[in-house]
Amino acid sequence: MLSPPDSPLGKQLRQYVCVRITRMDDVNVALFDRDWNNAVYYFVLNADEQIYMRYGGRDAESADTYLILDSMEIALSKGLELHRQYQKGELKRTELPKPLYPREMPLLVKRTFEQRACVECHLIGDFQNVQRERDGKLDKLAHLYRSPDIKTIGVDLDVPKGLVVKESRGAVQAAGMKSGDRIVALDGTPIWTFGDLQYRYDKVDRRAAGIQLTVERAGKPVDLAVALPVRWWWTDLRYRQSSVEPRTYFEDRPLTDAEKQKLELKPDGFASEVRYVADFSRTMKSHELKVGDIVYAVDGVERDDAANSADLFIKIRKTAGDDVMLDIIRGGQRMKMPLKTYRMSFRK
Amino acid sequence: MEKRRLIFYVVLACVIGLLAYTLLLRADDGGITWLSDYKEAVRLARQTHQPLLVEFRCEA
């Protein structure tokens, strides 16, 4: 980090005890819970392990979209203020989560400690999901589609200013959010940084119809009831593609209503056009799909409450390793196409 | 005399070892000291009444 001691950020950092952790071996992952696919992430807390805020988070576009020194300066300044309040007894203590250490995660131990390999951050998340899957507790909409993009509901932040809204569109605009508003709470929980916002937003039940965002406008709090659009939780997983199961080795795009009508497909179905086929599909003998194929059913199912494309349907409804039968249209001809899904075995 | 010399070298080795260990636990980043031991950081934060900034960084 570029933080000369006499710079504003440097002066703030000197008021903190700074610790940099590059191995997760002895970290309480329950306390420092986060999206594990972030290469850099910060927590501001005190010696009682009361977390004041998170700083970090990213989107599919870039790892650095929300990481900028100006917003970090704002966050660290707020962290010092919260610490003063805590010391005066003005902040309520929160109950600490039951500690969980990587050595208590058997699958992770086998893959890392026993092989003297590094306990990388993303492996924590990956093995949490493998364990959830084995325990029948994996909720793919929440655990696979982590950290939904706030831009999907129309929040475009003025990043250097932290949580100040640059532009509002879609769902949040309909709820009354305006440029210049500063987001201060989600469903009543105070948030100070984009990291806080993304973490709390990720905790929203994927079946929820709406959330309450509180913004500060002209010094006063304003509650906004935001109606969540269909698939608000969907987010581009390509940057975390090594954590995605099952693997299908193709990408698609949902057909439009007009396209479905022309092909006499169900209007509410998840028919989609194949836009990309990974070379690996041939190597793995996963399928023989071609760009331009229309996939309109998977194992005879043509519609789903959550999925709007065949690839999404497979990802959220099938388990890695499953063999499925696709119904496709190629060159106007309807045909069957077997597809074998895969697991990233070299990772877990 | 030999015994004294041996003790001297043992003590010297311990001091150098301790110094090296301490340096390994601390990294200087533009004048900011970054510890690498979380428990030590918590202990220091308690002692100095300072807040903690914990950075998780993947260097794999």
Q: Is the peptide bond before A148 cis (omega within 30 degrees of 0)?
A: no
Query: Does residue B16 have a pLDDT over 60?
Result: no
Residue type, B5: R
Contact flag B45-A47 (C-beta cutoff 8 Å): yes
What does the alpha-carbon distance between residue A288 and residue A191 come to, in Å, rounded to a whole number?
A: 48
**Residue A16 in tokens:** 């903190």
DSSP string for residues in A201-256? HHTS-TT-SEEEEEEEETTEEEEEEEEPPTTTT----GGGGGG-SSB-SEEEEEPP
CB pairs under 8 A between A and B: 125
**Shortest CA gap A218–chain B (Å):** 30
Residues of A in contact with B54 (CB under 8 A): 19, 21, 32, 42-45
**Residue A170 in tokens:** 């879609």
With vertex at residue A205, the alpha carbon angle to CA A204 and CA A206, rounded to the nearest 5 degrees, is 105
**Residue A191 in tokens:** 């948030």
The residues near A130 (Cβ < 8 Å, ≥ 6 apart) are A107, A348
Contact flag A19-B55 (C-beta cutoff 8 Å): yes
**Shortest CA gap B24–chain A (Å):** 12
Contact flag A40-B44 (C-beta cutoff 8 Å): no
Contact flag A13-B32 (C-beta cutoff 8 Å): yes
Neighbours of A18 (CB within 10 A): 22
pLDDT in tens, A18-54: 999 998 999 999 999 999 999 899 999 999 999 999 9
pTM for the full model?
A: 0.88
Neighbours of A229 (CB within 10 A): 13
Least confident residue range of A236-240, A298-302, B18-22, B54-58: B18-22
Q: Which of B52, B49, B56 minimizes the C-alpha distance to B41?
A: B52
Chain A residue with minimum CA distance to B58: A39
Per residue, what are the HEC states of B19-52? HHHHHHHEEEECCEEEECCHHHHHHHHHHHCCCE
Residues of B in contact with A80 (CB under 8 A): 51
Which residues on neighbouring strands pair with residue A310, listed in sequence order?
none
Contact flag A20-B60 (C-beta cutoff 8 Å): no
Best probe of the B interface among A19, A67, A84, A123, by most B CBs < 10 A, is A19
Residue-wise burial string across A179-195, b where 16 or more C-beta atoms lie within 10 A, e elsewhere:
eebbbbbbeeeebbbbb
DSSP character at residue A151: G
* Residue B29: alpha-carbon gap to chain centroid: 15
Measured between alpha carbons, how far is residue A123 from residues A10, A292, B60 in Å? Answer: 32, 35, 11
Residues of B in contact with A1 (CB under 8 A): 29-30, 32
Average pLDDT over residues A216-225: 98
**Shortest CA gap A41–chain B (Å):** 5
Q: Which of A215, A213, A181, A192 minimizes the C-alpha distance to A91?
A: A192
Q: What percentage of chain A reaches a pLDDT higher than 90?
A: 86
Contact flag B51-A83 (C-beta cutoff 8 Å): yes
What does the alpha-carbon distance between residue A328 and residue A336 come to, in Å, rounded to a whole number?
A: 6
Query: Which residue in B27, B37, B53 is closest to A16 by CB distance?
Result: B53
Residues of A in contact with B31 (CB under 8 A): 3-5, 10
Torsion of CA A246, A248, A249, A250, to 10 degrees: -130
pLDDT in tens, A284-338: 899 999 999 999 999 999 999 999 999 999 999 999 999 999 999 999 999 999 9
Average pLDDT over residues A244-260: 95
Residues of A in contact with B40 (CB under 8 A): 19
Residue-wise burial string across A272-302, b where 16 or more C-beta atoms lie within 10 A, e elsewhere:
bbbeebeeebeeeebbebeeebbbbbbeeeb
pLDDT computed for residue B13 by the predictor: 64
Query: Does residue A255 have a pLDDT over 90?
Result: yes
